[in-house]
Amino acid sequence: MGTALAEMTMPQISPLGGEPIERADAERLAGVLKALADPARLRLLSLIQSAPEGEACVCDLTAPLGLSQPTVSHHLRILTEAGLLEREKRGVWAYYRLVPTAIATIADLLTPPRKRAGKKAR
């Protein structure tokens, strides 16, 4: 996918901020959002975030998702390449945790700025 948040400059302007977003910025952001746009990947993020230590092993994620280990690993790879997860190898298993700054960056970009008091919305 090649759109890791850690490797790319996120747009300075929100696509909802009133200013047009540059094409390259829109393409990079769309790549990350595409990684999120899958029910299994959203569930993976939720399962990892809610795990007791805030991290989970592939072996802990297959049963709750009802997917095979190779399929779960595929989804985890996509989320990691998008910069949404960090991966740490321990023995034969890989453990994953959310990258909080990545999630916060996306949330900030997709949150429209508040209108100033006294100005009417168009």
Domain CATH code at residue 101 = 1.10.10.10
96 belongs to a structural domain: yes
User: Which range has the top average pLDDT, 24-28, 86-90, 102-106?
Assistant: 86-90
- Measured CA distances, 106 to 28, 33, 84 (Å): 11, 8, 10
CB distance 72 to 44 below 8 Å: yes
CB distance 93 to 14 below 8 Å: no
86 belongs to a structural domain: yes
User: Which residue segment(s) compose the domain that 81 sits in?
Assistant: 23-109
pLDDT, tens digit, for every residue of 49-96? Answer: 999 999 999 989 999 999 999 999 999 999 999 999 999 999 998 999
CB distance 98 to 84 below 8 Å: yes
Distance, CA of 48 to CA of 60 (rounded, Å): 9
Count of structural domains within the chain: 1
What are the tokens at 48?
């990892």
12 belongs to a structural domain: no
121 belongs to a structural domain: no
